[in-house]
């Protein structure tokens, strides 16, 4: 059962009680990410993702890790353009221990200078690792070209310069401005009751009910047609994409169905045409991203430099077929069946359940049931997908990003 409560502090608590499990997963969802950084703050959200595990006023990094791992638990975090998420998974009997650690980490970081410097070096290594991985780098290159000179186009990691120059006080100020209870969702799924979680979280939550700085929504410039980073690699890594739908657009479920048919699996059009029939690539897929005021649909493939033009021609042909003919009834039915089936199977752990309810509460302000989501997907019909094709694909300016030796 899913239950939701808003505390006086502004914190929202959402739980899904799963008494048949022996684990519980907690997530602290912060409603700020890379797009909320300004000027010299570029990379601050991701810096905090790392830094908050380095120590609190009463715990060292080792004590934080040992408290969770000594009972078989695990903890981690991730940063996106619009959220930063910290999570802990433990056996259910250690619920209080996990809440105590997670709330301490989120609200009481020490920001010790030596720990800031240590983690700065780690992040610079992470940036270097990304730069050495062309199939990762190409997606950042694509984002920059899709949203030129815009916060949504910035790399979540920050840049080498911004991370090097960001001082301890600037990071602490960003934390103070954004890590307020009213900007957080605390999500818990597993063998715990809503009342248990409320009692444990309430006594560990700051009382202040301030609001984070308002999210800037600058105008979005036209996407760039080309972004090429030439490098001596065995493959050319390519992303082709168009602007699409925001996270709460009414047509988002129809776009998900379209994406599944286009490049969502081994039976998809792109996989069959590019890999199975032509042997052009080992990896090819499409994916979508929805932000609170924008979004995109993109296709990735990696191919031999001498076959890039052929791969791009196939992608262009397949997109043209969608615009001209849409989906067949059989494709529509199979895509919906795949999405509902995979959704059901993906929610078999407390961690996946926590992610679903946490994101839903943060993005939608409510948590639809699994049956409701299945119903929305099943309710997508041919005219709905046709409308999305018209909105997203017909005459849409495309961005092509590439990393490799070819010159597009």
Active site residues: 49
Cα atoms in the 13 Å half-sphere on the side-chain side of 239: 28
Q: Where are the beta strands (DSSP E) in 148-271?
A: 184-190, 226-230, 236-243
| Block residue for tokens 């070209």 | 145
Helix, coil or strand: residue 16: strand
* Residue 242 phi, psi dihedral angles, 5° rounding: -135, 160
Candidates 303, 299, 305; CA nearest to 285 is 299
Provide the β-strand partners of residue 76. 87
Question: How far is Cα 111 from Cα 171, in angstroms, rounded to an integer?
Answer: 8
Matching residue, tokens 């638990």: 73
Q: Shortest CA distance to 319 belongs to which of 222, 398, 238?
A: 398
Q: What is the DSSP string of 288-321?
A: EEE-SS-EEEEEEEEE-GGGHHHHHHHHHHHHHH
Determine the 3-state secondary structure of 183 from DSSP: helix
Query: Measured at the alpha carbon of residue 50, what is the angle toward residues 366 and 288, in degrees to the nearest 5?
Result: 45
What does the DSSP 8-state code read for residue 348? S
User: What is the end-to-end Cα distance of the chain in Å, rounded?
Assistant: 53
Rounded Cα–Cα distance for residues 297 and 119 (Å)? 34
| CA 21 distance to own-chain centroid | 26
Written as one string, the DSSP assignment of 221-282 is: PPPPSEEEEE---SSEEEEEEEE---TT-TTHHHHHHHHHHHHSSTTSHHIIIIIIIT--EE
Task: Provide CB contacts within 8 A for 337, sequence distance 6+.
Answer: none
């Amino acid at each position: 059962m899913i239950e939701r409560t808003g505390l006086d502090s502004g914190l929202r608590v959402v739980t899904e009680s799963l008494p048949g499990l022996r684990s519980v997963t907690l997530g602290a969802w912060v409603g700020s990410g890379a797009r909320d950084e300004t000027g010299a703050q570029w990379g601050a959200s991701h810096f905090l993702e790392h830094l908050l595990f380095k120590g609190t006023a009463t715990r060292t990094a080792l004590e934080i890790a040992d408290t969770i791992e000594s009972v078989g638990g695990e903890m981690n975090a991730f940063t996106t353009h619009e959220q930063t998420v910290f999570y802990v998974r433990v056996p259910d009997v250690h619920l209080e221990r996990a809440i105590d650690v997670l709330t301490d980490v989120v609200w009481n970081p020490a920001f010790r200078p030596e720990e800031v410097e240590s983690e700065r070096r780690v992040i610079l290594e992470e940036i270097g690792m990304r730069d050495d991985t062309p199939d990762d780098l190409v997606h950042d290159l694509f984002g920059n070209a899709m949203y030129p000179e815009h916060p949504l186009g910035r790399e979540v990691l920050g840049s080498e310069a911004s991370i090097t120059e960001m001082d301890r006080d600037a990071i602490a100020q960003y934390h103070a401005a954004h890590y307020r209870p009213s900007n957080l969702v605390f999500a818990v799924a597993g063998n715990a009751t809503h009342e248990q979680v409320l009692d444990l979280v309430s006594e560990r939550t700051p009382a202040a009910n301030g609001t984070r700085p308002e999210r800037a929504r600058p105008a979005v410039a036209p996407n760039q047609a080309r972004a090429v980073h030439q490098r001596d690699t065995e493959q050319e890594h390519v992303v082709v994409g168009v602007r699409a739908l925001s996270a709460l657009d009414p047509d988002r479920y129809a776009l998900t169905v379209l994406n599944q048919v286009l490049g969502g699996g081994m039976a998809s059009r792109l996989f069959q045409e590019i890999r199975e029939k032509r042997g052009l690539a080992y990896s090819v897929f499409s994916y979508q991203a929805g932000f609170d005021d924008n979004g995109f649909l993109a296709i990735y493939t990696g191919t031999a430099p001498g076959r890039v033009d052929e791969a791009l021609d196939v992608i262009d042909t397949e997109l043209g077929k969608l615009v001209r003919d849409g989906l067949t009834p059989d494709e529509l039915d199979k895509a919906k069946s795949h999405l509902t089936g995979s959704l059901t199977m993906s929610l078999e752990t407390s961690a996946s359940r926590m992610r679903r309810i946490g994101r839903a509460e943060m993005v939608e302000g409510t948590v639809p049931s699994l049956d409701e989501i299945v119903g929305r997907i099943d309710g997508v019909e041919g005219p709905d997908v046709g409308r999305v094709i018209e909105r997203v694909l017909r005459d849409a300016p495309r961005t092509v990003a590439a990393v490799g030796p070819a010159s597009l």
